[in-house]
């Protein structure tokens, strides 16, 4: 399962610095998650670290594939 960052993103970078697989990068306006790299933090954490450290509630959402 992958995740997506919505327009509420403040571009603080907290999600990028905590992603263990480097799936998050700075986009033209907000940060973006590469769904091909995102592995739901499997093997690193029980919960997605991007969601855990993001200061904006509900900014990072699971996307259905």
Environment class of residue 65 by beta-carbon count within 10 Å: exposed (0-12), middle (13-18) or buried (19+)? exposed
The residue extents of the domains of the chain are 2-63
User: What is the model's pLDDT at position 36?
Assistant: 94
Q: Which CATH number fits the domain 2-63, given the four candidates 3.40.50.2300, 3.60.150.10, 3.50.50.60, 3.30.70.20?
A: 3.30.70.20
User: What is the model's pLDDT at position 2?
Assistant: 86
* Distance separating alpha carbons of residues 40 and 44, to the nearest angstrom: 9
Which tokens sit at 20? 């263990």
Digit-by-digit pLDDT tens for the chain (65 residues) are 789 999 999 999 999 999 999 999 999 999 999 999 999 999 999 999 999 999 999 999 998 76
- H helix or E strand, kind and range, residue 33: strand 31-33
Q: How many CA atoms lie within 13 A of 3 on its CB side?
A: 26
Q: Whole-prediction pTM value?
A: 0.91
């Amino acid at each position: 399962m992958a995740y997506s960052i919505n327009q509420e993103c403040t571009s603080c970078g907290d999600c990028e610095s905590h992603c263990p697989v480097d799936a998050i990068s700075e986009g033209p306006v907000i940060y973006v998650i590469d769904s091909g790299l995102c592995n739901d933090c499997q093997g690193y954490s029980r919960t997605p670290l991007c969601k855990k450290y993001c200061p904006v509630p509900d900014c990072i959402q699971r996307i259905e594939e």
